[in-house]
Amino acid sequence: MPEPVQEKSTKTTCPYCGVGCGVIARVSNDGTVSVKGDPEHPANFGRLCSKGSALAETLDLEGRLLYPEIGGRRAGWEEALDLVAARFSQSIAEHGPDSVAFYVSGQLLTEDYYIANKLMKGFIGSGNIDTNSRLCMSSSVAGHRRAFGSDTVPGTYQDLELADLVVLTGSNLAWCHPVLYQRLAAAKASRPEMKVVVIDPRRTMTSDIADMHLAIAPDGDTALFNGLLTHLVTSGAIDQNYISAHTHGFAEAFAAASALELPALTKATGLTEAELRDFYRLFETTEKVVTCYSQGVNQSSAGTDKVNAILNCHLATGRIGRTGMGPFSLTGQPNAMGGREVGGLANMLAAHMDLEKPRDRDLVQRFWNAPGLATKPGLKAVDMFRAVAQGRIKALWIMATNPVVSMPDADAVETAIKACPFVVVSDILRETDTARHAHVLLPSLGWGEKDGTVTNSERRISRQRAFLKAPQEARADWWQLAEVGRRMGFGQALGHTSPAEVFAEHAALSGFENDGRRDFDISAHAAIDHDSYDALSPFQWPQPRGTAPQEKRFFAEGGFYHPDGRASFIPVEAPKANTGSDGFPFTLNTGRVRDHWHTMTRTGKSARLSSHLAEPFVEIHPRDARAIGAAHADLVAIESPCGIVVVRALVTERQAEGNLFVPMHWNDQFAAKARIDALVAPVTDPFSGQPASKNVAVRAMRFAAATYGFAVSARKPEGLDAPYWAIAKAEGGWRMELAFAGDDADWIGWSRRVFSIPHEIEPIGYTDRTSGELRLAFFDGDKLLAALFLSPQPVAVARNWAVTQLGVSHANLGKRFAVAAGRPGADKPDPGATVCSCFSVGANQITAAIRDGCHSVEAIGEKLSAGTNCGSCRAEIRGIINACLAAAAE
Ligand SMILES: Nc1nc2c(c(=O)[nH]1)N[C@H]1C(S)=C(S)[C@@H](COP(=O)(O)OP(=O)(O)OC[C@H]3O[C@@H](n4cnc5c(=O)[nH]c(N)nc54)[C@H](O)[C@@H]3O)O[C@H]1N2
Ligand SMILES: Nc1nc2c(c(=O)[nH]1)N[C@H]1C(S)=C(S)[C@@H](COP(=O)(O)OP(=O)(O)OC[C@H]3O[C@@H](n4cnc5c(=O)[nH]c(N)nc54)[C@H](O)[C@@H]3O)O[C@H]1N2
Ligand code: SF4
Ligand SMILES: [Mo]
């Protein structure tokens, strides 16, 4: 654990999702950290989800990168920074500024991002800085800019509570923005007349509170919202005054929208006429509508058009910027918005200005005193890694992102990085799928150690504050960038000595020659000093010079940022329905699970978070599973022309037929072959350059194994060589799923090697000749070191029970044999798969409580505490209750 800075509570902001919850971190005298929600923060008013609640469990120094490394050897900062500066300068001198690139992240703080962008665009003079926000928010950015003339989110979180209809499209809010979901669920509970519509090919946990779930065909959104626009016109629900006073292009947009008649609409959306009519009628007759959208909209080859199809409907009804109304782009990362504000995307310039506009370039050039400012946009992420592969980029700096896992065509991205002459990676961990290919590794400060600001989905800027000392030699990302910039000769422009100074400059630029022409203006903070920065309370932008903090919505009275002040309707056409391609009949959809964050570098450290879903899986419809001969818990290989993964089958009717869903999280550190982006083709949206990560043509087949295994081990397993393995952190050790091609290995020898068992320890064994099952357990005195359960079928041992055996004393020999036999005793029943990660309550415990008469989420909460802390599992508990009661009624 890093050392505490001071023994007191610190107000800071959660480093995970774009809800941007306020957190109070407390460091006790013995150095232990605890976190709770900040009751005063306007994003969460004290609530936290499962990931936020478990933050303290991710702060240990295990696996941290703690000093710079060059070519795998420890180096000093001076040497590492000199080398990075020299290699970047050399490449620029020999091949020009476009031969270098930065690939950064929406998880950087605004101050880090500002310096990265200033160094690359202002002083290196290239646009080649792009960010993982390209994979995340760029279609929303492009859609906003086409419609509004600026990248503006018009509304606030409160609008979701005040609306009478909330449409959630391409958003699994319950798992991905859990506190906002809780706010919505609470509003709906207090006003049951409020309606929620969820539009998603899968029936996700978010559908739990929905009055209507529309299982849309992949990429059917443009057709759906075009049909809606047509319906709004024909039913007379449009706001003609708003359209004529504040917009242009309505006729063209309507003409494009009405191209599809009802029969074609049902085909394109995969919905019935009745479903379409019900949804359209609800939208037509409800004034207060908020339409929230996220990656089911953005991550598409037509993502920008989807965004504009949605914006068109809100503009046509004038339902924008008023209380309880408007389109709402849900941002993913903690600082997706801050990155956009500093212009971190390759085609943007600082403070929401445009790299392609000479006037904007001139303004920024003068403000920065940067005669060499880039004159054209740089390469967007997919093109950037293509340029790396082609040898056009010779020096690459990757910061706070893990592209070998998260970029489409991930195997090709890995090959490109490996072949790049000079790669710098700044990360908090030493071993990631990307870091392993770096020539220079730079240790960054992590959450709790670094200082700066982030902007959440509702334009609220909050401080992240340090409450732990920098561990060993880790340093802030902005400092690393500025130090390299100084060594490259740009010292005058990068002389900042603190994040407060960087923030002040960023605020000043936002107001520079602005006069209301640009939406992003926080110049009220242009002269902020260190003390005020330390004390800065969360505030929403805009906050121009001389104004007090305000809660502002945009565009109720027009005032758009196109030169004529009007919004543009964008005519959009529905893409042709995807009919699959030869030999690749399934549509692969990818996304997130409740308790993991992206590539698991932080959530993978928490046993509690890792127990919710402990291995990579594919959601598959029962009929599809039958068709490929796979039963529940079998392994499935999924393949596209780009790559292959092997994951567990999770057979469920929540999944639509013909579609598969695999989470994006698992990577080479946690599984043998589960980097799903290895399958995703690098197909991008033509306007935003955002990859289509949710609609990939694949084939699937049962993965035959001769032997399946499950194991628990006190030590992290080493050298796993099985064709399938997936490891997860457990209380007191690790748990893992395994599959082998053969059935006659030297399992004792294998276990000794993989679980690091001292040679003097003999196993307790158990073989069942009829079932072919074999169990081995290794004890050191009364302590279980490892247990391996093997079977010709997927292993049926009670997982969570087995995991708890690592932590208990096995003084009684009989109990040791029970472990080897894989049989929970009556005194310690199997809790079942974890549902509530805050209180470690499993599905079997919940089922038992239901049998005992607890028939509501509240009753379960009273009996087991499940669902009473962060509330992230309440939808799942309700699902178990409904399933049990339905089964009992049959
Ligand atoms: N637990 C957790 N929360 C997170 C994150 C995390 O890693 N873990 N990451 C954060 C980040 S960076 C982001 S960007 C957000 C993402 O938040 P979300 O966008 O809510 O999450 P996803 O699971 O990527 O995708 C959302 C849904 O889109 C659906 N979908 C797929 N194709 C289509 C389609 O064609 N149309 C429609 N309408 N829906 C479709 C998927 O089935 C999926 O349920 O989450 C943030 N929050
Ligand atoms: N198939 C598929 N692919 C996807 C998506 C999908 O839905 N489907 N979603 C896309 C989206 S929306 C996103 S946002 C991306 C996310 O993908 P990534 O950005 O690649 O995922 P992370 O795991 O968040 O990577 C963050 C890295 O930064 C490190 N880190 C943490 N804190 C710090 C810090 O303070 N400083 C530094 N320097 N490093 C730090 C972490 O250890 C980790 O290695 O994935 C995208 N890829
Ligand atoms: S909803 Fe959860 S992950 Fe998102 S900011 Fe709040 S506590 Fe963090
Ligand atoms: Mo994201």
Predicted confidence (pLDDT) per residue in 59-88, tens digit? 999 999 999 999 999 999 999 999 999 999
Helix, coil or strand: residue 166: strand
Instruction: Give the integer Cα–Cα distance in Å for 414 and 437.
Output: 8
Query: Closest ligand 3 atom, CA of 17?
Result: 4
Structure tokens at 609: 């978070």
Half-sphere exposure in the Cβ direction for 824 (13 Å, CA): 17
Q: pLDDT class for 3, splitting at 50, 70, 90? A: low
Q: 169 CB under 6 A from ligand 1?
A: yes
Instruction: Give the integer Cα–Cα distance in Å for 718 and 327.
Output: 49
Q: 575 CB under 6 A from ligand 1?
A: no
Q: 336 CB under 6 A from ligand 3?
A: no
Average pLDDT of 854-860? 92
Instruction: Give the integer Cα–Cα distance in Å for 139 and 257.
Output: 20
Give the number of other CB atoms < 10 A from CB of residue 72.
Answer: 10
Helix, coil or strand: residue 834: strand
Q: Is 834-889 assigned to CATH 1.10.10.1100? A: yes
Instruction: Give the integer Cα–Cα distance in Å for 71 and 84.
Output: 12
Instruction: Give the integer Cα–Cα distance in Å for 611 and 593.
Output: 12
Average pLDDT of 231-235? 98
Q: Are 620 and 548 in contact (CB under 8 A)?
A: no
Going from the Cα of 296 to the center of ligand 1, the distance in angstroms, rounded, reads 6
Going from the Cα of 172 to the center of ligand 1, the distance in angstroms, rounded, reads 5
Q: Where in the chain is the domain with CATH 3.40.228.10?
A: 138-329
The residue whose CA has the least distance to atom 15 of ligand 1 is 332
Q: Report the run of H or E that residue 197 belongs to, with start and end.
A: strand 195-199
Q: What is the pLDDT of residue 463?
A: 98
Q: What is the pLDDT of residue 889?
A: 73
Judged against a pLDDT cut of 90, whether residue 7 lies above it is answered with: no
**Rg of the chain taking only CA atoms, in angstroms:** 27
Going from the Cα of 406 to the center of ligand 2, the distance in angstroms, rounded, reads 7
Q: 16 CB under 6 A from ligand 3?
A: yes
Q: 819 CB under 6 A from ligand 3?
A: no
Q: pLDDT class for 658, splitting at 50, 70, 90? A: very high
Q: Where in the chain is the domain with CATH 3.30.200.210?
A: 9-58
Query: Closest ligand 2 atom, CA of 426?
Result: 38
Least confident range of 26-30, 480-484, 506-510: 26-30
Structure tokens at 724: 């399938």
Query: Closest ligand 2 atom, CA of 602?
Result: 42
Instruction: Give the integer Cα–Cα distance in Å for 1 and 368.
Output: 40
Instruction: Give the integer Cα–Cα distance in Å for 395 and 392.
Output: 9
Give the number of other CB atoms < 10 A from CB of residue 469.
Answer: 15
Instruction: Give the integer Cα–Cα distance in Å for 4 and 470.
Output: 9
Cis check: omega of the bond before 682, within 30 degrees of 0: no
Ligand showing the shortest atom-to-Cα distance for residue 452: 2
Instruction: Give the integer Cα–Cα distance in Å for 200 and 168.
Output: 8
Instruction: Give the integer Cα–Cα distance in Å for 489 and 491.
Output: 6
CATH assignment of 138-329, given 3.40.228.10, 3.40.50.1110, 3.40.50.300, 3.30.70.3040?
3.40.228.10
Q: 49 CB under 6 A from ligand 3?
A: yes
The residue whose CA has the least distance to atom 8 of ligand 1 is 597
Q: What is the pLDDT of residue 844?
A: 87
Structure tokens at 705: 């194994």
Going from the Cα of 611 to the center of ligand 4, the distance in angstroms, rounded, reads 23
Q: 54 CB under 6 A from ligand 3?
A: no
CATH class of 9-58: alpha beta
Q: What is the pLDDT of residue 507?
A: 98
Least confident range of 244-258, 586-600, 823-837: 823-837
Helix, coil or strand: residue 875: helix
Q: Could you report the per-residue pLDDT of 427-462, keeping only the tens digit for each?
A: 999 999 999 999 999 999 999 999 999 999 999 999
Q: pLDDT class for 6, splitting at 50, 70, 90? A: low
Q: Report the run of H or E that residue 9 belongs to, with start and end.
A: strand 9-13
Q: Where in the chain is the domain with CATH 3.40.50.740?
A: 69-135+335-540
Q: What is the pLDDT of residue 822?
A: 80
Going from the Cα of 334 to the center of ligand 3, the distance in angstroms, rounded, reads 9
Mutation probe of ligand 1 site: the residue of 14, 137, 271, 295 with most atoms within 8 A of C-beta: 295
Q: Is 586-702 assigned to CATH 1.10.286.10? A: no
Q: What is the pLDDT of residue 11?
A: 98
Instruction: Give the integer Cα–Cα distance in Å for 479 and 502.
Output: 11
Going from the Cα of 698 to the center of ligand 4, the distance in angstroms, rounded, reads 23
Judged against a pLDDT cut of 60, whether residue 425 lies above it is answered with: yes
Q: Where in the chain is the domain with CATH 2.40.40.20?
A: 586-702
Ligand showing the shortest atom-to-Cα distance for residue 869: 3
Q: What is the pLDDT of residue 660?
A: 98
Average pLDDT of 630-651? 95
Q: 680 CB under 6 A from ligand 2?
A: yes
Average pLDDT of 759-770? 89
Average pLDDT of 588-612? 94
Q: What is the pLDDT of residue 578?
A: 60
Query: Closest ligand 1 atom, CA of 200?
Result: 39
Q: pLDDT class for 811, splitting at 50, 70, 90? A: confident
Instruction: Give the integer Cα–Cα distance in Å for 733 and 804.
Output: 10
Judged against a pLDDT cut of 60, whether residue 5 lies above it is answered with: no
Instruction: Give the integer Cα–Cα distance in Å for 42 and 38.
Output: 9
Q: Could you report the per-residue pLDDT of 185-212, keeping only the tens digit for each?
A: 999 999 999 999 999 999 999 998 999 9
Averaged pLDDT of the chain: 95
Query: Closest ligand 2 atom, CA of 447?
Result: 35
Q: pLDDT class for 828, splitting at 50, 70, 90? A: low
Q: What is the pLDDT of residue 454?
A: 98
CA distance from start to end of the chain: 53
Q: What is the pLDDT of residue 843?
A: 86
Query: Closest ligand 3 atom, CA of 872?
Result: 2
> Tell me, what DSSP letter sits at residue 527?
T
The residue whose CA has the least distance to atom 4 of ligand 3 is 17
For the domain spanning 69-135+335-540, the CATH number is: 3.40.50.740
The environment of the single-atom ion ligand 4, i.e. residues with CB closer than 5 A, is 136, 332
Average pLDDT of 388-413? 98
Q: Where in the chain is the domain with CATH 1.10.10.1100?
A: 834-889
Going from the Cα of 184 to the center of ligand 3, the distance in angstroms, rounded, reads 15
Q: pLDDT class for 4, splitting at 50, 70, 90? A: low
Helix, coil or strand: residue 3: coil
Q: Could you report the per-residue pLDDT of 345-395, keeping only the tens digit for each?
A: 999 999 999 999 999 999 999 999 999 999 999 999 999 999 999 999 999
Structure tokens at 445: 């400060």
Q: What is the 3-state secondary structure (H, E, C) of 172-241?
A: CHHHHCHHHHHHHHHHHHHCCCCEEEEECCCCCHHHHHCCEEECCCCCCHHHHHHHHHHHHHHCCCCCHH
Going from the Cα of 92 to the center of ligand 3, the distance in angstroms, rounded, reads 41
Instruction: Give the integer Cα–Cα distance in Å for 386 and 397.
Output: 15
Give the number of other CB atoms < 10 A from CB of residue 348.
Answer: 28
Burial of residue 167 (number of CB atoms within 10 Å: 0-12, 13-18, 19+): buried
Distances (CA, A) of 421 to 276, 325, 389, 769: 54, 51, 11, 56
Looking at per-residue pLDDT, the higher value among 481 and 868 belongs to: 481
Instruction: Give the integer Cα–Cα distance in Å for 607 and 235.
Output: 54
Average pLDDT of 761-771? 88
Distances (CA, A) of 67 to 70, 82, 429, 444: 10, 15, 11, 9
Q: Give alpha helix (H) positions in 270-380.
A: 273-285, 295-298, 303-316, 336-341, 358-368
Q: pLDDT class for 826, splitting at 50, 70, 90? A: low
Q: 20 CB under 6 A from ligand 3?
A: yes
Going from the Cα of 179 to the center of ligand 3, the distance in angstroms, rounded, reads 6
Q: 17 CB under 6 A from ligand 3?
A: yes
Average pLDDT of 734-750? 93
Going from the Cα of 591 to the center of ligand 1, the distance in angstroms, rounded, reads 5
Q: Report the run of H or E that residue 440 belongs to, with start and end.
A: strand 440-443
Average pLDDT of 521-533? 98
Q: 221 CB under 6 A from ligand 1?
A: yes
Q: 426 CB under 6 A from ligand 2?
A: yes
Distances (CA, A) of 553 to 180, 264, 292, 345, 495: 18, 37, 16, 25, 36
Distances (CA, A) of 556 to 143, 320, 435, 562, 857: 18, 6, 47, 16, 40
Structure tokens at 554: 């945009």
Ligand showing the shortest atom-to-Cα distance for residue 131: 2
Q: pLDDT class for 1, splitting at 50, 70, 90? A: low
Structure tokens at 845: 């415990």
Q: Are 698 and 638 in contact (CB under 8 A)?
A: yes
Kindly state the percentage of the chain with pLDDT values over 70.
Answer: 98
Kindly state the percentage of the chain with pLDDT values over 90.
Answer: 87
Q: Are 346 and 129 in contact (CB under 8 A)?
A: yes
Least confident range of 130-134, 311-315, 636-640, 743-747: 743-747
Looking at per-residue pLDDT, the higher value among 473 and 799 belongs to: 473
Ligand showing the shortest atom-to-Cα distance for residue 52: 3
Least confident range of 162-171, 217-226, 802-811: 802-811
Judged against a pLDDT cut of 80, whether residue 604 lies above it is answered with: yes
Judged against a pLDDT cut of 90, whether residue 182 lies above it is answered with: yes
Q: 134 CB under 6 A from ligand 1?
A: no
Average pLDDT of 289-303? 98
Mutation probe of ligand 2 site: the residue of 384, 428, 669 with most atoms within 8 A of C-beta: 428
